[in-house]
Structure 1
Amino acid sequence: MQQLKLWLLPALFSAATSQALDGVEFSGNAGAEWREFLNAGQFNSADDDQARHQFSASIEPELAWQSESGQHIVVFRAFGRWDSEDDERSHADIREASWLTYGDSWELKAGISKVFWGVTESQHLVDIVNQTDFVEAPDGEDKLGQPMLKLSLVQSWGLLDAFILPGFRERTFAGNDGRFRFAVDIAEDDALYQSDKEDRHIDLALRWAHTLDDYDVGLTYFRGTSRDPLFVPQFAGASPQPVALAPLYVLIDQFGLDVQATLDSWLWKLETIYRTFDDSIGTDYAAIDVEDYSAATGGFEYTFYGIAETDWDLGALAEYQYDSRDDAALALGQNDLFVGGRLALNDADSSEVLFGISQDLDDQATRSVLLEAETRLGDSMKLNVEGLLFHSSADDNLSYQLRQDDYIQLSLYYYY
């Protein structure tokens, strides 16, 4: 497991060594996934027909222990996947290996864990603590475990979370036979860092959250190594064309704001960030041109309850995405509109369907369509259906690289 920092693990279990582990609970899930791609991959080395079919199996076991007093909790959750086509997607990770204790107005967690920040549907700008597990899915929703020390203070003026993040995780990328890859190979084994401490740089993060009447407000700050890599071209000989791109992880400061307002049937959402870079990047890497920027995603979800005299609820979604860099080669949501719907059947199986389309307002031919549906099959099984379609005719748009990666996915999970 790439660059996973396990040196915190002995401390995680110190609270449990003096007591019997009679309270251990074992749970988790195992799944099978089938992806069917509608086109041959434009950058794949595998056989065209074979590359359209992708099967994988996953397992995610979890062990949890709680002391008799309830003041010490230890959780260990691992994840592993085997993939039939992409060797890089066959991977394993520790999603959680943490010890938690708490008092009347504080909580302390140490180890490896996952943290989610954000409120919007179409993208999560403020969610920066954990690294994206990109080989799992192209939507950025899956995250790698992050070593951390987290202190939470619960006060009348809000909840304050303070993080020390002592180990950096590099982003995962598809292999030569995988999908959602780019025209030039990613040389992830040759990753570069702005910090001379490389992946040992200690990052810091803060989040304050509070509820003010109908408004849930969060303010965030992050200082450290960016989870989003830049890319430095690698050349061979006198060729003017790069043979690979080396990920470059630079130091950033990021300020964030997220707001969610619940007003009757309306749910208003906003995420906005301002990110700054060190001026030395351009000096050290002449091929990299960065500038401070701001970005925002905001919109609403309006719910129609009991449509057509049924128990079904339909939420209408609309969000606008803005990025001050105004460059579709750097950001997918620089001037885009997302519209969609969420259908909840409110049945015993918790069946739900999410669908939507993201439209680039600068290029009418660039859009993506998504479909996500899920339902339970009895007490222990869950069925997921997912579809993602890309369309772009602009070769300077990031989504142009994915225009032949449309797929339908069927997943079946067993929970134990």
Structure 2
Amino acid sequence: MISGVRIAAAGLCLAAGALPALAKEPNIETSLELGMELRVFPNDPALGPQRDRAVSPSFYLEPEITADWNGGVDRLTLVPYARVDRDDDSRTHVDLREANWLHIGDGYDLVIGADKVFWGVTESRHLVDIVNQSDGVEDVDLEDKLGQPMVQLAVPSDLGTFSFFVMPYFRERTFPDADARLSSGVRVDDDAQYDSDAEEFHPDLAVRWSQVIGDFDVGLSHFHGTSREPRLLALDPANPSNLTPYYDQIDQTGLDLQYTTDAWLWKLEAIGRGGHGDYFPAAVAGFEYTLFGIRGSDMDLGFLAEYQYDGRDEDGSAPGTLANNDTFVGTRLTFNDVDDTSILAGAVVDNEDGSTLLSLEAERRIGDAWKVEAVARFFLNADSENGLTALERDDFVSLTLIRYF
């Protein structure tokens, strides 16, 4: 809760401090997304402290308020977020996903305040996406992001778009309670430690160049600052399940590349990182091939495959990762109907021990105001030396009903 209040204050102060006087009355639009989620855990928990409840409900709301003025040249955006979870106190949290002022100038775009920025092209792992912190209590895929206070300047040109970021405040990753499902039975302290004496107020810097060159979409980036991945340290030998996050200072250079030809998308994300032990490379590479209009219908069927490599040291000088030598295969079915129905199924398999994460995601609109989403995660064949073994009894299926206002 404290983190949510801090981000709200930081984002609003940044945006308000840069906000010019309104030239005329703004055009204000509001919307609200309200969701009810039911998670079903078919197995008993593996660890004694975890709550043994087969059905776990939660509710969330996400309003959005935008105000445009000066002919759309200026925009103020506010997107708060809140979730209440019956069985995980850490998942009951608030955040400010966005609270920023956008100004479209003569040859530049300027954003000041809390915002969300996405970099990357691959499906199974987003290596280069480093600006925002992951909201680790939302889902194990770490796709949900916390709002990041920043000043962002984007300058488009014939040579590509150059984007510059200054991030004055760092967001710590969120973790489930030790007694909650999907927690691996560990307690992560709120009192994090930092490599920098400035702690969460260390100014992080990033720059990115992006360009479309023929059939290629190219992005080059560099980040200097506090790692979004913490090392989890057991500082109390008497209680090794109590872990303290430690955030190192790192430098990361990234490349994202996508080549489009007919029904093929060839994708690559690659990084080199220093600050976590020895300098190491990591990469995700693969393709997506789509069959359009299968059997004469409006549906498209896509086939995906990616290889994940990570060369970080395993001596504790870098955060642990499961994606060091893994293969992802999946399929995407898009119905192209008025209800935007889609299904994505995939599996990530460890090439060394066969440990497997199986995922299914589906969604469909119901009329103009409702939507249903289904997600399933299964942890299969988990080897005793693989990190998935801590989750092998936490298979779950979730169903979310969403109402738009």
Which category describes the TM-score, using the shorter chain as reference length?
over 0.9
Matched, 1:321 2:308: yes
Show the counterpart of 1:132: 134
Q: Deviations over 1:334-391 (max 9, x none)?
A: 1111111000111110100000111111012x01111000110001111101101012
Give the C-alpha shift of residue 69 in structure 1: 2.4
Q: Contact 2:23–2:70 at 8 Å: present in 1 too?
A: no
Taking the aligned partners of 2:74 and 2:321, their CA distance within structure 1 comes to 42
Show the counterpart of 2:348: 358
Show the counterpart of 1:301: 288
Q: Deviations over 1:70-94 (max 9, x none)?
A: 2110000000000011111000000
Give the C-alpha shift of residue 20 in structure 1: 5.4
- Equivalent position SS for 2:83: strand
Give the C-alpha shift of residue 327 in structure 1: 5.3
Taking the aligned partners of 1:16 and 1:62, their CA distance within structure 2 comes to 21
Give the C-alpha shift of residue 232 in structure 1: 1.6
Q: Deviations over 1:155-199 (max 9, x none)?
A: 000001100000000000001332221243211x22100100000
Q: Contact 2:11–2:99 at 8 Å: present in 1 too?
A: no
Q: Deviations over 1:115-174 (max 9, x none)?
A: 001100001000000000010111010000000000000000000110000000000000
Q: Deviations over 1:258-314 (max 9, x none)?
A: 001110000111001111017xxxxxxxxxxx3321110010000001112211110
TM-score with structure 1 setting the length = 0.92
**Equivalent residue runs for 1:69-218 within 5 Å:** 69-187=71-189, 189-218=190-219
Show the counterpart of 1:348: 338
Show the counterpart of 2:231: 230
Show the counterpart of 1:377: 366
- Equivalent position SS for 1:63: strand
Show the counterpart of 1:389: 378
Q: Deviations over 1:220-242 (max 9, x none)?
A: 10000000000221226xx4x52
Q: Which moved more, 1:173-182 or 1:128-137?
A: 173-182
Taking the aligned partners of 1:95 and 1:44, their CA distance within structure 2 comes to 35
Give the C-alpha shift of residue 22 in structure 1: 4.3
Taking the aligned partners of 1:97 and 1:149, their CA distance within structure 2 comes to 12
- Equivalent position SS for 1:69: helix
Show the counterpart of 2:323: 333
Q: Which moved more, 1:216-225 or 1:169-178?
A: 169-178
Give the C-alpha shift of residue 10 in structure 1: 3.6
4+ runs of 1 displaced by more than 6 Å?
A: none
Q: Note the aligned Cα RMSD (angstroms).
A: 1.8
Q: Which moved more, 1:376-385 or 1:172-181?
A: 172-181
Q: Contact 2:356–2:382 at 8 Å: present in 1 too?
A: no
Where structure 2 has 5 or more consecutive residues not aligned to the other structure, the ranges are: none
Taking the aligned partners of 1:307 and 1:265, their CA distance within structure 2 comes to 13
Give the C-alpha shift of residue 47 in structure 1: 4.5
Show the counterpart of 1:258: 256
Matched, 1:29 2:16: no
**Which of 297, 305, 308 in structure 2 is aligned with 1:310?**
297
Amino acid at match of 1:120: T
Taking the aligned partners of 1:361 and 1:327, their CA distance within structure 2 comes to 17
Where structure 1 has 5 or more consecutive residues not aligned to the other structure, the ranges are: 279-289
Give the C-alpha shift of residue 44 in structure 1: 5.6
Give the C-alpha shift of residue 7 in structure 1: 3.7
Amino acid at match of 2:333: L
Give the C-alpha shift of residue 19 in structure 1: 4.6
Taking the aligned partners of 2:385 and 2:25, their CA distance within structure 1 comes to 57
Q: Contact 2:292–2:299 at 8 Å: present in 1 too?
A: yes
Taking the aligned partners of 2:170 and 2:376, their CA distance within structure 1 comes to 32
Q: Contact 1:165–1:202 at 8 Å: present in 2 too?
A: yes
Q: Quick one: structure 1 residues 396 and 168, their matched pair in 2 at CA, closer, same or farther if it must change by over 3 Å?
A: same
Q: Contact 1:44–1:178 at 8 Å: present in 2 too?
A: no
Taking the aligned partners of 1:378 and 1:400, their CA distance within structure 2 comes to 41
Taking the aligned partners of 1:262 and 1:330, their CA distance within structure 2 comes to 33
Amino acid at match of 2:292: Y
Taking the aligned partners of 2:22 and 2:87, their CA distance within structure 1 comes to 46
Amino acid at match of 1:296: A
Give the C-alpha shift of residue 331 in structure 1: 1.5
Give the C-alpha shift of residue 243 in structure 1: 4.6
Taking the aligned partners of 1:315 and 1:11, their CA distance within structure 2 comes to 42
Taking the aligned partners of 1:180 and 1:256, their CA distance within structure 2 comes to 30
Amino acid at match of 1:29: E
Taking the aligned partners of 2:301 and 2:27, their CA distance within structure 1 comes to 42
Taking the aligned partners of 2:402 and 2:64, their CA distance within structure 1 comes to 15
